[in-house]
Amino acid sequence: MFAALPLAVDPSGILDRLSVAAWIFDIDHGQVVWANRSGLELWRAEDIAALAVRDMNFDMSASVARRLRQYQDDFVRKQSVFSELWTLYPGGVSIGIERGPFIGVQKGPLRWLGSALPVGPEP
């Protein structure tokens, strides 16, 4: 995933040290394909494999699906970056987050790099 970056180290190790949750989401497949440690904690997942098998499309509302498609369209047309307040439900637990930036990652399928800080009670 990071092979194209001109770095001497794998940045995933650096990203794992961040307290900010970060993940890469594949909108077309409704799947988180990578997350740092804080992201795994936020999503209440033991590891990336456990998170990647979750079908986020299964119980996604129509309005959220429309919003994500709008992100795709805006990124493809204008390279837009998004930051918003959202509520996630990992493991059925409501977590308010300030999410952003939500940046398109274009290598193969269009995927999104999301990051978030919890707002309100800790996850």
Identify the residue with better confidence: 1 or 50.
50
Q: Decide if 92 is inside a domain.
A: no
What's the average model confidence in pLDDT over 70-99? Answer: 80
Identify the residue with better confidence: 76 or 66.
66
How many domains in the chain? 1
Distance CA 41, CA 94 (A): 14
Q: Decide if 120 is inside a domain.
A: no
Cut 0.75: pTM above it: no
Q: Decide if 47 is inside a domain.
A: yes
E strand or H helix at 87 = strand 81-88
What's the average model confidence in pLDDT over 60-78? Answer: 84
Q: Is the pLDDT of residue 71 over 90?
A: no
Indicate the pLDDT class of residue 47, thresholds 50, 70 and 90: very high
Q: Decide if 55 is inside a domain.
A: yes
pLDDT confidence of residue 48: 92
E strand or H helix at 69 = helix 62-78
Structural domain boundaries enclosing 78: 19-82+102-113
